[in-house]
Chain A
Amino acid sequence: GAVVSQHPSWVICKSGTSVKIECRSLDFQATTMFWYRQFPKQSLMLMATSNEGSKATYEQGVEKDKFLINHASLTLSTLTVTSAHPEDSSFYICSASASRGDYYGYTFGSGTRLTVV
């Protein structure tokens, strides 16, 4: 089945530094990837949609200059949290879709727990 690999699984960084999270589709080409944020005991909040070779589409209220998304190839999307602050601490999850015809639900990465100290 389709596998999405997300790294790192957890990261601790100092306030003011940047952190990059990678999301790779291992056995399929992902034309579209989604990035979510999940607070403890809450649902997934969509942050942005990235399409290979084009700019990401951000949801309302998400700072695109803080959360940089790059989808340079059909198998890799990255989320960079720039100038991280403690309020950016959260669980970040990516998901991928092979194509518009993939209606079997998206495949999710295992998530990244970010702690900013």
Chain B
Amino acid sequence: AQTVTQSQPEMSVQEAETVTLSCTYDTSENNYYLFWYKQPPSRQMILVIRQEAYKQQNATENRFSVNFQKAAKSFSLKISDSQLGDTAMYFCAFMLIQGAQKLVFGQGTRLTINP
């Protein structure tokens, strides 16, 4: 079974700083997707960024980028120029392409951006 581990329960940075959230996963499969989701206080889950495992190039979405290390099974999220609106729970998630395509979530990291 696949597992996702986020080892940082909480993080806090000042506005405009850069912050990196860690995520590791375990799988014996080769074809999968990885995601970062954001859950603000409203509790609405929002997709931040996704990465296809077969792509070597790291995904980027504006201020958000990932460092995908397939051999190390690591998938960290970097937020540049952090903003107050980035304050949220961040969940790393894994999905096998084959089968039921269920998302497996990590435990989450609570990120606080301070003014």
Taking beta carbons and an 8 Å cutoff, which residues of A are in contact with B?
32, 34, 38, 41-44, 46, 49, 57, 91, 93, 95, 97, 100, 103-106, 108, 110-111
Given contacts A44-B105, A110-B44, contact A57 B100 (CB under 8 A): yes
Taking beta carbons and an 8 Å cutoff, which residues of B are in contact with A?
33, 35, 37, 42-47, 50, 52, 91, 95, 97, 100-108, 110
| CB < 8 Å neighbour of B43 from A46, A91, A97 | A91
Query: Which residues on A sit within 8 Å (CB–CB) of B110?
Result: 41
| CB < 8 Å neighbour of A103 from B33, B106, B108 | B33
B102 and A105 contact, CB distance less than 8 A:
no
- Kindly state the separation between the CA atoms of A62 and B100 in the bound complex, as whole angstroms: 17
CB-CB nearest in chain A for B50 = A105
B105 and A104 contact, CB distance less than 8 A:
no
A43 and B50 contact, CB distance less than 8 A:
no
- Kindly state the separation between the CA atoms of A66 and B30 in the bound complex, as whole angstroms: 36
- Kindly state the separation between the CA atoms of A110 and B35 in the bound complex, as whole angstroms: 19
Query: Which residues on A sit within 8 Å (CB–CB) of B104?
Result: 46
- Kindly state the separation between the CA atoms of A49 and B101 in the bound complex, as whole angstroms: 10
Query: Which residues on A sit within 8 Å (CB–CB) of B44?
Result: 108, 110-111
A100 and B101 contact, CB distance less than 8 A:
yes
CB-CB nearest in chain A for B37 = A105
B45 and A95 contact, CB distance less than 8 A:
yes
B45 and A43 contact, CB distance less than 8 A:
no
Smallest CB–CB gap between A94 and chain B, Å?
Answer: 10
- Kindly state the separation between the CA atoms of A106 and B37 in the bound complex, as whole angstroms: 10
B97 and A103 contact, CB distance less than 8 A:
yes
CB-CB nearest in chain B for A46 = B102
A108 and B91 contact, CB distance less than 8 A:
no
Given contacts A103-B52, A104-B50, contact A110 B43 (CB under 8 A): yes
- Kindly state the separation between the CA atoms of A111 and B97 in the bound complex, as whole angstroms: 26
Pairs across A and B, CB under 8 Å, 30 listed: A32-B101, A34-B102, A34-B103, A38-B43, A41-B110, A43-B91, A43-B105, A43-B106, A43-B107, A43-B108, A44-B45, A44-B91, A44-B105, A46-B102, A46-B103, A46-B104, A93-B43, A95-B45, A95-B103, A97-B101, A100-B101, A103-B33, A103-B52, A103-B95, A103-B97, A104-B47, A104-B50, A105-B35, A108-B46, A110-B44
